Structure 1
Amino acid sequence: MIFTILDILGLIAFAISGTLAGIEKKLDFFGVFVIAMVTSIGGGTLRDLLIGNTPVFWLLNLQTFYIVTATTILSVVFRHRLSFLRTSLFLFDTIGIGIFTIIGIEQGLMIELSPIVCILLGTVTACFGGVARDILCNEIPVIFRKEIYATACLTGGFMFFALDFLKVNNDIIYVATAGTIILIRIFAVRNKWSFPQIEIK
């Protein structure tokens, strides 16, 4: 049950993130919808292709389409209530990567992949939708900039398996994993934590 709820919350968070990115780029509604859809399903699509799970998840269940469509419309209608566009975009993107990391890890566990591969699969699920969004919006993807992004997902993944090893309840594992990712991302941006950039001198 909580896994289904997490999936829906992740879709909503990434749909809002994509919608706000499209609005910021002054796209028309169709453009905004495409960005929202790509942000929501991009990571999961790549994940399913990597593990041979075809047709990919959103082709088999129209619920994904309905959730993203409804979220996009509501986000556009109430866009003025999201007064700080950059802050809102960051917040919902961060929530999305926290939730989708868990979903990717669980998908890997279902087909009995090793913990390291599951963590990488979770990171791909969390990050690739944002990569596709940024590319379509003509931005350098956040994951390739100096901000802490994928590293937060990887850390959350290790937290997942550490708690699983300790036989902690699954619901607590999910909350702790997502919380770890979200907090790392928030603190990293607030305190300007980053990896050094490579420069040619």
Structure 2
Amino acid sequence: MLLTILYVIGITAEGMSGALAAGRHRMDLFGVMFIALVTAIGGGSIRDVLFGHYPLTWVANPYYILIICVAAILTTRISSVISKLESLFLLLDSLGLVLFSIIGAEVARKMDYGFVLIITSAVITGVFGGILRDIFCNQIPLIFQKELYAGVAMITASLYYVLIEYFNIEILIASIITLVCGIILRLLAIYYKIGLPVFIYEDKQK
């Protein structure tokens, strides 16, 4: 129940961030809702298709679509207020990233996949919504330029896997521990601007 509530909070926050991105590119209402949906449930959908996990999460729970669309429409009405709550949205974005990563890891674990595919599932679930959002908005995905993002998803999934497989901790307890640790790690990465080395190549022939 707790994870379901957190998941709804996560997709709502991601949907609102997607709506804001659409607004910056002057999209119409359909575009706003589409980008919001892609941002919130795109990663999970790609994971489900690649891993043969059916029905898709939003097909099994259609009300998730309504929640995201309502959040997107609400964002168009209170965008000026939302833009002032940057700190809150950073926290909610971190919550969404870590929570989606845990869900992705659990989906692969339940399907009896090994460690590598569990991490892969977590990363796809956690970050691909943002990648799709930026691609549709004609931008280089932020996760390739900013502080640790995919790395947080990988560390989160690894911790979750170790807690369950090696310490035999219950799923709910392991999820809560992983959630707290993952959010702290993400916020520290933002605060201290921790990221991977950047590769810069300039073609001197030009």
Q: Percent identity?
A: 34
Kindly report which structure 2 residues correspond to 1:70-81, keeping only aligned pairs within 5 A, or say none: 70-81=70-81
Corresponding position: 1:49 with 2:49: yes
Instruction: Choose 1 or 2 for highest CA Rg.
Output: 2
Residue 85 of structure 1, CA deviation: 6.6
Kindly indicate whether the alpha-carbon contact (under 8 Å) linking 2:148 and 2:195 is maintained by their aligned counterparts in 1.
yes
Bigger CA drift: 188-197 or 16-25?
16-25
Kindly report which structure 2 residues correspond to 1:168-179, keeping only aligned pairs within 5 A, or say none: 168-179=169-180
Kindly report which structure 2 residues correspond to 1:20-59, keeping only aligned pairs within 5 A, or say none: 20-59=20-59
Kindly report which structure 2 residues correspond to 1:1-201, keeping only aligned pairs within 5 A, or say none: 1-84=1-84, 87=87, 90-164=90-164, 165-200=166-201
Kindly indicate whether the alpha-carbon contact (under 8 Å) linking 2:108 and 2:117 is maintained by their aligned counterparts in 1.
yes
Residue 95 of structure 1, CA deviation: 2.1
SS in 2 for 1:112: coil
Q: Give the aligned length.
A: 201
Structure 2 CA distance for partners of 1:26 and 1:92, relative to 1, 3 Å? farther
Provide runs of 4+ in structure 1 moved above 4 Å. Answer: 85-89
Bigger CA drift: 158-167 or 79-88?
79-88
Kindly indicate whether the alpha-carbon contact (under 8 Å) linking 1:41 and 1:58 is maintained by their aligned counterparts in 2.
yes
Once residues 130 and 7 of structure 2 are traced to their aligned partners in structure 1, the CA distance between those partners, rounded to angstroms, is 16
Normalising to structure 1: TM-score of the pair? 0.88
Kindly indicate whether the alpha-carbon contact (under 8 Å) linking 2:10 and 2:92 is maintained by their aligned counterparts in 1.
no
Residue 9 of structure 1, CA deviation: 2.4
What 5-or-longer segments of structure 1 have no aligned partner? Answer: none
CA RMSD after TM alignment: 2.1
Normalising to structure 2: TM-score of the pair? 0.87
SS in 2 for 1:195: coil
Kindly indicate whether the alpha-carbon contact (under 8 Å) linking 2:10 and 2:93 is maintained by their aligned counterparts in 1.
no
Once residues 201 and 130 of structure 2 are traced to their aligned partners in structure 1, the CA distance between those partners, rounded to angstroms, is 28
Tell me the alpha carbon deviations over residues 117-138 of structure 1, each in whole angstroms, 9 at most, x when there is no partner: 1121011101000000011112
SS in 2 for 1:127: helix
Tell me the alpha carbon deviations over residues 142-188 of structure 1, each in whole angstroms, 9 at most, x when there is no partner: 22224211001111111112222223333232122222222222211
Bigger CA drift: 72-81 or 86-95?
86-95
